[in-house]
Amino acid sequence: MTPDQITRVESSFGKLAPISTTAGTLFYRRLFELDPGLRPMFTGDLSAQSRKLMAMIALVVDNLHQFATLLPQVQALGREHVGYGVQAAHYDTVGAALLWTLRTGLEEQFTAEDEEAWAAAYAMLADAMQAAGPPLTAP
């Protein structure tokens, strides 16, 4: 990621933070609209899951300048997700739901450049998670 992309992600996430509860709800609603087959993977309280998601995003955003320091934690998360039944295509669905959530939650405050920066950040995260475990297959 470029320094400008990192700044864009940080700035736009700062705008999203005040509506993080809503953003988490939007994210999971959209995720299950895109792939209803993912719903059974989430057996717990979605409010708690939304908080975990937003906390993980915040952690990644706060450390984009030094992503390598997060790598062990990101790799462990990737291995955990394999155990949940996550497949390669699910990463694309999650990325689409994330970008939709940002566009919906931030509206005109979310620019095309912001979206490109978030796509780069998510790709970096997803690639690191997938590389940590056994090769994932398409569903």
Q: Mean pLDDT of residues grouped by 10 in the chain (139 residues)? A: 97 95 96 96 90 94 94 89 84 97 97 98 94 60
CATH number of 3-132: 1.10.490.10
Nearest to 60 by CA among 131, 1, 135, 133: 1
Residue the block writes with tokens 């988490």: 24
Cβ neighbour number for residue 4 with a 10 Å cutoff: 10
Contact indicator for 100, 32 with CB cutoff of 8 Å: no
Indicate the pTM of the whole model.
0.90
Looking at residue 135, its pLDDT comes to 56
Looking at residue 67, its pLDDT comes to 93
Give me the residue spans of the domains in the chain: 3-132
Distinct helix (H) and strand (E) counts, the chain: 6, 0
